[in-house]
Amino acid sequence: MQGRVKLKIKKGDSVTVIAGNDRGRKGRVLEVLIDKGRAIVEGVNLVSKHTKPNAKNPQGGIVKQEAAIHISNLMVNDGSGVPTRVGRRMGEKGKLVRYAKTTGEEIK
């Protein structure tokens, strides 16, 4: 991605996958890769990784782990767990806050 883009998804958000093999799955954002425009979501887009034996995994073998998914394929869930678009507006303290377009309530 070029330039500075304000992403609507943050670490810790509850999201729903709206496109791809994991469509309809819900999870929590573990990490946001700003420069690539991707996010890692808990339990979504699992890939098999072959690992050598190490201290953490002395046996080695095949490990399932989450891979990054493009942000355009994710939608933030509002307080009730329903996917919604996200807008930004001035809050009470003069600071930009994110809000759910469907309900109008602030997203924490």
Q: Is residue 69 part of a domain?
A: yes
Whole-model pTM over 0.75: yes
Query: Is residue 106 domain-resident?
Result: no
**CATH code of the domain covering residue 25:** 2.30.30.30
Please give the average per-residue pLDDT across 65-82, as a whole number: 94
- Residue 44's domain spans which residues? 14-78
Average pLDDT estimate for 65-72: 96
DSSP 105: P
* Alpha helix positions (H), 1-108: none
Residues 6+ apart with CB under 8 A from 77: 13, 14, 15, 16, 26, 83, 84
pLDDT digits (tens, 9 = 90+) for 44-59: 999 999 999 999 889 9
Classify residue 22: in a domain, yes or no. Answer: yes
Q: What mean pLDDT value characterizes the chain?
A: 92
Residue 3 and residue 65: Cα distance in Å, rounded? 30
CB-based burial label for 90 (10 Å; 0-12, 13-18, 19+): exposed
Asked if the structure places residue 23 within a domain, the reply is: yes
